[in-house]
Amino acid sequence: MSALELAVLVWFGSLAAGFLGSLTGLGGGVVIVPLLTLVFHVDIRYAIGASLVSVIATSSGAAAAYVKEGYSNIRVGMFLEIATTIGALTGAWIAIFLRLSVIAVIFGLVLLYSAYLAFRPPPEHPEAGRPDRIASMLRLDGSFPTANGMREYRVRNVPSGFSLMYVAGVLSGLLGIGSGAVKVLAMDRAMRLPFKVSTTTSNFMIGVTAAASAGIYLNRGYIDPGLAMPVMLGVLVGSLAGTYVLARARVRILRLVFSAVIAALGIEMIFNGFTGKF
C-alpha cells in the first residue's frame, strides 16, 4: 500500500470517526486510536498523538457551530476547563512511564464505558428545586433553543462535576481522546445539564483539554505530521457534518450503532493488551 493510499483510507476512517464523535459528544478520538492501532497497525503512542491533533480539530469545527446556535454553555465549559487542563497534563506525564499493553487495556475499558453511555437514553432532568449556590455565584445557569422556543435550565452539583472533569483530563492526556464520555457523565448525570447542552459543551471543551497534553506528545516526538494531517482533516469534516445532523434530527439509531462499534473496539483493545500484541 502506497503512502497516498494509506492517507486516503485514514481520511475516510477519520471522517466517520469525527461524524460519530460529534453526534454523541464523545469525540472522534474514541474511534481514531483503535482504528489506527488495530486496522493500520500504527504504534499506539503515535496513534494517540494523531488523535490529540484530531480532537483539537473536532472541537474547532463542531464547537463553533454549536456556540453560534446557542447550545453550548460557555461559562460552564471555561470553568470546568481548569480541572481538565490540569488533569490532561497529569495524564500525558503518566503515559510516558506506562507500558503500551497497559495503555491499551485502559483504553479498552474506557471504550466499553463510552459504549454504555452512548447506549443509555439521556435522562430528562426536572427543573424544580433550589438553585446551586456555586452555580448561582458563577452564573452558570443558562438556556438553549428547542422547537418550542428557548428552554432554561439550572446547573447542579458543581463540586462533583469539577472532580469528574479532572478524571476526564487525565484520560485525555493518557489516551489521546477528548474524554467526552466522562465529560458527558459529569455534565449530564452529575450537574444535570440537558443532554444537548452536555454534548455540545463537551465538544467545546475537548480541544482545550487535548491541546494541554498534545504539547507533551509533540516534545516526545509522538506526533507524525504525515499521519496527523489526514486524521485531522477527516475528523474536521466529519465533525462539521455531525453538527447539522444533531441539531435537526433524532440520532437514537446512530447512537446505538456507535455504541456497538466502540464496544467491539474496546473488547479488541483489551484482548490485544492482555495478549501482548502492542
Half-sphere exposure of 192 (CA within 13 A, CB side): 18
Helix axis angle for 100-119 and 252-274, nearest 10°, is 160
Residue 230 has pLDDT above 90, yes or no: yes
Residue type, 39: V
Distance CA 155, CA 141 (A): 5
Among 80, 66, 271, 44, which residue's Cα sits nearest to residue 176? Answer: 44
3-state secondary structure of 153: strand
Distance between CA atoms of residues 28 and 201, nearest Å: 15
Q: What is the mean pLDDT of residues 269-275?
A: 84
- Residue of higher predicted confidence among 21 and 249: 21
DSSP label at 186?
I
- With beta carbons less than 8 A apart as the criterion, state whether 49 and 217 touch: yes
pLDDT of amino acid 12? 92
**Residue 192: which of 245, 155, 141, 158 has the closest Cα?**
155
Q: Give the 3-state DSSP-derived string for 133-146, with helices as H, strands as E and coil as C.
A: HHHHHHCCCEEEEE
pLDDT of 48 over the 70 cut:
yes
259: pLDDT strictly greater than 80: no
Closest CA to 104 of 184, 48, 148: 48
- Phi, psi (deg, nearest 5) at residue 156: -120, 165
Question: If you average pLDDT over residues 165-177, what whole number do you get?
Answer: 81
The yes-or-no verdict on residue 1 having pLDDT over 80 is no
Q: How confident is the model at residue 55 (pLDDT cuts 50, 70, 90)?
A: confident
pLDDT band at 144 (very low <50, low <70, confident <90, very high): confident
**Total residues belonging to the chain:** 278
pTM exceeds 0.75 for this model: no
- C-alpha span between 238 and 61 (Å, rounded): 9
Q: Are residues 10 and 230 in contact, defined by beta-carbon separation less than 8 angstroms?
A: yes
